[in-house]
A = this chain, B = another copy of it.
Amino acid sequence: MSKSIFYHAGCPVCISAEHDIIGLVGESNVEVVHLGEDRDRINEAEKAGVKSVPALLTPNGNVLHLNFGASMEDVKR
């Protein structure tokens, strides 16, 4: 895994953080996953340790929860 993965759910906090992360890391270095639309990736995100969105999974497997938009329980609803 060489790219980071940015998980979000379309919330305003998510969109703002997405812009910030892409500005910092570069668009080519981050895969953006909208868990509200890509619901079959919720399980993958939870296994990686994502507890809320927006969150950034780094290439070394750490999860950075960025501010707070919604819990994974909310995303699943």
In the complex, the count of this chain's copies comes to: 2
**Contacting pair A16 B67 (CB below 8 A):** no
Query: In the complex, which residues 48-71 of chain A have their Cβ closer than 8 Å to any Cβ of chain B?
Result: 56, 58-60, 62-68
Q: Number of contact residues on A: which range applies?
A: 20 to 34
The answer for the CA separation of A20 and B65 in the assembled complex, in Å, is 12
**Contacting pair B62 A64 (CB below 8 A):** no
Which of B24, B63, B65 contacts A24, CB < 8 Å? B24
Known: A16-B62, A64-B67, A66-B66. A25 touches B23 (CB 8 A): no
CB distance from A50 to the nearest CB of B (A): 12
The answer for the CA separation of A63 and B4 in the assembled complex, in Å, is 20
